[in-house]
Structure 1
Amino acid sequence: MGLKLEDLAAIDEKLSLRHLELDPGGYFIIYLDRESGLICAKHFTNVIDERGLAVDPETGKVIPARGKVERTHTTLFTGRTAKELCVHIFEQTKPCPVTQLDHAAYLGREFVRAEVALLTGQEYVQD
């Protein structure tokens, strides 16, 4: 017997609750530009403090994990597919803004989810 869709969702939900080490290279806000047919990823820089919290390098203030944050992104990356976006970020951008392998794997998964949502018309919400 294989896994059912509900089983896969439960596995993903459980894994989404695990602790993550933040990438000192920064973080991304991913969204869709449906009108242009693009997956968009705004990159923001941060510094990780001694407590492991992401801090705005300009103000020194902790960046909250939830809620609206008024910050200006460093770079806007766009692609028509997850692969195109990954090639642009991980292979063509020097230095690469992602410094941790787990962050790169997470972004790849999210870009694929965003691509599927773009193609199917489903809503995309970043995990």
Structure 2
Amino acid sequence: MTFLTSKYPELASATLSTCEIQIDNSSWPPVEGEYTVLNKSAPVAVSTLANVKLEEKLVKLNPSGLCMVGKTETENIGIDKIIKNVISNPSISSLILAGKDTEGHQSGKTLLALWENGVDKNMRIIGSKGRRPILKNVTHSDVEKFRKQVQVENQIGCANTRTLAGKIEELSRNAAPAASSSSCGCHGDCGDQTVTMAMPAVSLPEPSAAVPSVTAKKQSKTSIKLDKAGYFVILPSKKNASILVEHYSYDNKLLRKIKGKNGRDIYFTIINNKWVTELSHAAYLGKELARAELSIKKGFKFVQDGA
């Protein structure tokens, strides 16, 4: 049971036991994610773990040999995606783990554990100390292909782009050519210089139910139900670098004030104390607190949305 389903039991029946990955075999990479592809035929992939800015810097630097780079924040779905994308591209022979590891999830250390130890019969990554290192969207065969195909380089904690660029170029120089076949079908034994590389099909776990695709409908402002617990007025202060939230009853009586340095601390305080009882109100509150926090960081005037 998740934090939200414990607070809102009605969500439990709508929560999927697995979050299956959508696969697109018509192009590479087949799995969507937050990453940048620079050269599909290059041999080195980089995970910047929790460091988004490091990804941006490496993309700008664009070192020779870099295939793709992106963050990996979770020790389950994030690793599922890496495995699927790597084994579907035989050019990739090295995976560098760099940047700050994710707290709690420990996606970097979990990737190292996966490469070194594999998974048990329940698809739990052996040796991982992450919160939930269980792979739901790959098979044992996928894991073994990944472990055999790539060398994982531990650069966790390193955010020096020059150091990482040097490592990428070194691994690229030392990479063995990916398996390929010539256009005549002789596997490169003749003088035919036309070489094609086949991207292998990506396997899905069996059984694999179709995942519905839902288009969000435009909602009116009246879609949010009035919360019997009251309403909130959000007052960010750039001067104090803090957010003040006033909680009122519907007869406009001030019930309490909640003050914090960031939106996350405030909405957890509100939810834990059950000062919000409607899901739509909780979603609205999270959105507005995020905007309030951003207004402090970026310096724009915050005007609370009327819901």
TM-score range, shorter chain: 0.5 to 0.7
Matched, 1:119 2:297: yes
Task: Summarize the alignment of residues 2-81 of structure 1 with structure 2, pairs less than 5 Å apart.
Answer: 15=219, 17-19=220-222, 20-46=224-250, 56=251, 71-81=252-262
Supply the AA of the counterpart residue of 1:116: L
In structure 2, C-alpha distance between the alignment counterparts of 1:97 and 1:120, rounded to whole Å: 29
Supply the AA of the counterpart residue of 2:292: A
Large movers: runs of 4+ above 2 Å: none
TM-score normalised to structure 2 length:
0.27
* Structure 1 residue 34: Cα displacement: 2.2
Aligned residue for 2:245, secondary structure, equals strand
Kindly indicate whether the alpha-carbon contact (under 8 Å) linking 2:234 and 2:245 is maintained by their aligned counterparts in 1: yes
Higher gyration radius (CA): 2
CA-to-aligned-CA distance 1:19-48 (integer Å, 9 cap, x gap): 1321111000111122221111100012xx
* Structure 1 residue 72: Cα displacement: 4.2
> Which residue of 262, 273, 278 maps to 1:100?
278
Aligned residue for 2:233, secondary structure, equals strand
CA-to-aligned-CA distance 1:68-110 (integer Å, 9 cap, x gap): xxx441111111111111121112x2xx111101100000000
Identity of aligned residues (%): 33
Instruction: Please list every run of 5 or more consecutive structure 1 residues that lacks an aligned counterpart in the other structure.
Output: 1-13, 47-55, 57-70
What is the root-mean-square deviation in Å for CA atoms of aligned residues?
Answer: 1.5
In structure 1, C-alpha distance between the alignment counterparts of 2:271 and 2:290, rounded to whole Å: 15
Count of aligned residue pairs for this structure pair: 87
In structure 2, C-alpha distance between the alignment counterparts of 1:78 and 1:89, rounded to whole Å: 11
In structure 2, C-alpha distance between the alignment counterparts of 1:81 and 1:97, rounded to whole Å: 18
In structure 1, C-alpha distance between the alignment counterparts of 2:242 and 2:253, rounded to whole Å: 20
Q: Bigger relative contact order, structure 1 or 2, given CA contacts below 8 A and separation 6+?
A: 1
